[in-house]
Amino acid sequence: MKKMKIMIFGSKGMVGRSLVRILSNSDTVGELIASSRDDTNLFSLDETMLKMKKEKPDIVINAAAKVGGIHANNTKRTEFIFQNLKINMNILEASISFPETKIINLGSSCIYPLNAENPIKEDSLMTGELEPTNSPYAIAKIAAIEMGRALNKQYSHQVVNLMPTNLYGPYDNFSEMDSHVIPGLIMRMHKAKVASNDTFKIWGSGTPLREFLYVDDLAEAVLFLLDKSCENDLYNVGFGEEISIMDLAFKIKNIINFQGELDFDSSMPDGNPRKLIDTTRLNDLGWRPITNLDTGLEQTYRWYLENNIN
CB 109 within 8 A of CB 137: no
Integer Cα distance of 183 and 137 in angstroms: 19
Integer Cα distance of 125 and 113 in angstroms: 7
301 in active site: no
Segment holding 303, helix H or strand E: helix 293-307
What size, in residues, is the chain? 310
Task: Spot the catalytic one: 112, 137, 235, 304.
Answer: 137
Residues 6+ apart with CB under 8 A from 73: 80, 133, 134, 136, 137
- CA angle, 294 as apex, 290 and 298 as ends, to 5°? 105
Integer Cα distance of 159 and 59 in angstroms: 10
CB 214 within 8 A of CB 182: no
Residues 6+ apart with CB under 8 A from 82: none
Residues 6+ apart with CB under 8 A from 136: 73, 77, 78, 80, 81
Residue positions annotated with a catalytic role: 137
